[in-house]
Amino acid sequence: MNNDEKKVGFIDTGLLIVILTAISYFIAYSYETAYLSYFGFSEFSVLSVSITSLVTSLGTMVIIIIFLTLSFIGFKANIKFINSPIFKLLSKFSLFFFLILLSSLFFKFQYLYVFLSLTLILLIRIYGYPYYKYKETKGYMNKIKKNIKDIESRSQDNIGNIYLSWNSSIIGKLITIVLIFIFAFSISNILGYYAGLSKEKFYITEIDNRELVVFKIYGDNAVVAPFNTETAEYSNSIIVMNIKSDNNDVIEFEKRTFDDGIKVRD
């Protein structure tokens, strides 16, 4: 290996580390923002990214990716044992259905019809194409079998070409990075929102005869809001409180459990 190749390899490794670091902090930041957004503080700017959120969001993200990957591989492996040409043709487009299902998780229920429409259009495309493409072939099942054979032959030729094109294309790599950021943003938002939705234990403190609930602690600062422990309701006026006292006064926090969570005061 000459010096130029070593230099390029070093740059690629360094760039990869920078990108992974940026994605990691981006995931944690999105997680923190979504968590606070659940409690109605969407306009609040996150002070910093805590190590806990970084580890929680990244760890959960890795588990989700592994689970989704194994599920997809398992689905692909099991569907191969089905001899029906109908299902075999469907399996060739399983990645598209998987992406539609994954994308539908990031939107509210009222947008479900959009993804159902996309699924229907894809099904019409899959099973309608062989009928028009292979008009000279008799029998619909024979048309499907011929379509499957053509898809398999094209995919074997295209996989190597796609990798070579991607490996030599800066634009292709940039698009990949953008897609990773979009995926990471969507997943981390869901995780942050669910963390707020499922949270039952909160730290409560009292200052100047006023109860405060702690939503997040960033170093020496805490994100709090006025709170009523009897009704488990908090005010929508957010406060950033310095918990490091200059005169050595101790600020006590009591950990309380609210089975139904807490809600904003009407």
Question: What pLDDT is attached to residue 163?
Answer: 57
Tokens of 139: 């029998």
Residue 129 has pLDDT above 70, yes or no: yes
Cα distance between residue 77 and residue 71, in whole Å:
10
Across 217-236, average pLDDT: 84
Question: What pLDDT is attached to residue 121?
Answer: 87
Q: What is the pLDDT of residues 65-78, one digit of tens each?
A: 777 777 777 776 77
Separation in Å, CA 38 to CA 45, 62, 190, 252 = 14, 23, 10, 26
Which of 211, 189, 197, 207 has its CA nearest to residue 258? 197
More confident of the two residues 137 and 9? 137
Question: What pLDDT is attached to residue 155?
Answer: 64
Which of 69, 98, 60 has its CA nearest to residue 198? 60
- Reported confidence tier of residue 160, pLDDT bands at 50, 70, 90: low
- % of the chain exceeding 70 in pLDDT: 72
Burial tier of 154 (Cβ tally within 10 Å: 0-12, 13-18, 19+)? exposed
Which of 202, 193, 228 has its CA nearest to residue 105? 193
List the domain boundaries for the chain: 3-196, 200-264
- Reported confidence tier of residue 106, pLDDT bands at 50, 70, 90: low
